[in-house]
Amino acid sequence: MEDIILTYEEQITEIAAVTDLVPQLDTGSDPVVQELVAYIEDAHQRELQLQVDLEDNRRRLVGLEEEIRELDEQLGGVSQERFALVQRLEAGERIRERFARAENIFAPEEARVSREGNSIIVRLVGLRFGSGEAEIDPVHGPLLERVHEAVEIFPRSQVVVEGHTDSYGGDRSNLALSRSRAEAVGEYLSAELGIATFRVSAVGYGETRPIANNETQQGRARNRRIDIRIEPQQE
């Protein structure tokens, strides 16, 4: 019976690892299962939203192409408007291609890569700090090297390191801790990996931007995070 239970718990732990959750099985499996169900439902909603966004982008692209055709007919293909539209289309395509390259750099347990408009968000789920600390453990060096690789996919991009905490502790201390952690990562990217300092900035949001329920241990673990916002510049 004990072997069966251990096998069951091991399977749950493996599933939880894929979703960057930290299972606590000493009180039984129900809380972990509920957290996994919530995570899967959230992922499904995000997938549906991405599908909607993709369809919107396709419709927008068709609209832009139609504008180009109309301008060609009206002005014989020679106009500043046409040139601007072509530039917008080409810039959007470059960002989509580079986003795919950046996404493929990281393993699922290291980072999640997403887009907000033209900005690329690299959520470092594999980067952890000691409780109340802002010192980067050397074990995270390879992960931050991959962040550098992702940043360099976008020439002359600006990099904003965003620090977040859970809701435990005071507002001021959480804000200061999140800022210190963000600054530590930003300094590492500049001093150790060679990203120009004028390209890197850091900001701390404390507990004000949670992405999970602060009432659960797993949710608090997800809220304690560093996000890297890569903002491509117009070429």
For the stretch 55-110, pLDDT in tens is 887 788 778 878 777 777 666 655 566 667 767 776 777 777 888 888 889 998 89
| Mean pLDDT for all residues in the chain | 83
pLDDT at 53: 79
The CATH T-level fold of domain 2-231 is 60s Ribosomal Protein L30; Chain: A; (3.30.1330)
pLDDT at 156: 87
pLDDT at 198: 95
Give the sheet arrangement for strand 200-204, strand by strand.
Answer: 112-116, 119-123, 225-231, 158-164, 200-204
- Tell me the residue type at 173: S
**What distance in Å separates the CA atoms of residue 97 and residue 53, rounded to the nearest whole number?**
16
Q: Give pTM, 2 decimals.
A: 0.64
pLDDT at 99: 82
* Mean pLDDT, residues 122-137 taken together: 92
State the residue for tokens 């001021």: 172
**What distance in Å separates the CA atoms of residue 189 and residue 185, rounded to the nearest whole number?**
6
- Terminal alpha carbon distance of the chain: 64
Q: Are 203 and 164 in contact (CB under 8 A)?
A: no
In degrees and rounded to multiples of 5, residue 19 shows phi and psi of -100, 15
More confident residue, 94 or 215: 215
For residue 14, the SS3 value is: helix
**What distance in Å separates the CA atoms of residue 157 and residue 159, rounded to the nearest whole number?**
6
H-helix or E-strand containing 102? helix 80-103
More confident residue, 208 or 86: 208
**What distance in Å separates the CA atoms of residue 67 and residue 80, rounded to the nearest whole number?**
13
pLDDT in tens, 136-186: 999 999 999 999 999 999 888 999 999 999 998 889 999 999 999 999 999
